[in-house]
Amino acid sequence: MRIVFIILITFFYSCRGVSQSFEGGWKGDLAVPTGTLPLQFSLQKGDRWTGTMRSPSQTRLDFKLDQIEVAGDSIRMKSAALGISYRGRLSADGQHIEGNFQQGNYTSALRLGRYDSTQTVKRPQQPIAPFPYDSKEVYFDNNDVTLAGTMTQPTEPGKYPAVILVSGSGPQNRNSELEDHKPFEVIADYLTRKGVVVLRYDDRGVAQSTGNFLQSNIADFSEMP
């Protein structure tokens, strides 16, 4: 009877481990020389594994994971566009992945935990229509790249100061959107209400702008039409 009991216990725990899945949202803080860098992964299981990775403190864009291999409680993920890879192992309770992140010659331990990737955050400062100014979609060329944006301006005819909002590092859309926050839209709304014409636009390869951000360099960004 004791032998049967041990076999049943072993079978129970083996089934428990198999029932856990990598599917869903995962996030963790990667140690970098300047501190920590939050990373988020979203994994789906269909005919094959698919998923994306995001660095929310740098961009709202999701980057496709080209390769996802799952074997038991182990996983391997790669993104050719970013030159990154991650190998990890699922914890017994299925709530964490212990593994190592690699990009180029840099390697660091990265512990991922589950999170709800569908959860949204309310931003009370978000501008709400109707607006006391005009807003229109605009397009302009930079050699072989077409950039798309939004221009907001006072409704009354006249001469007004104007500003162009330019994003920082990383590919950003016209609102510099991050974690459901849209700082460029908030800034444009404030300035236009004060009588300033504001242009904000999608970086190349983002949203409605053409081109490829990841394959571009500083010369491409600064080149005039």
Q: Residue 17 above 60 pLDDT?
A: no
Q: Is the dihedral of CA 19, 22, 27, 30 positive or negative?
A: positive
By CB atoms closer than 10 A (0-12, 13-18, 19+), residue 15 is exposed
Domain that holds residue 62: 22-115
Residue 93: which CATH number?
2.40.160.90
> Is there a domain that residue 151 lies in?
yes
Q: How are beta strands 197-201 and 162-165 bridged, if at all?
A: parallel
In this structure, the chain runs to a length of 225
Q: Residue 11 above 50 pLDDT?
A: no
Decide which of 88, 115, 142 is a domain's last residue. 115
> Is there a domain that residue 34 lies in?
yes
Q: What value, to the nearest 5°, has the Cα angle with vertex 46 and ends 40 and 51?
A: 20
Q: Which residues pair with 103 in a beta bridge?
A: 84, 106
pLDDT of residue 4: 47
pLDDT of residue 171: 77
Residues 109 and 173 in one domain: no
At residue 169 the predicted structure's pLDDT band, cuts being 50, 70 and 90, is low
Q: pLDDT tens-digit profile of 21-71?
A: 899 999 999 988 778 889 999 999 988 999 999 888 777 678 899 999 999
Residues 86 and 154 in one domain: no
At residue 19 the predicted structure's pLDDT band, cuts being 50, 70 and 90, is very low
Q: Which two tokens stand for residue 70?
A: 């799952």
> Is there a domain that residue 99 lies in?
yes
What mean pLDDT is reported for the chain?
83
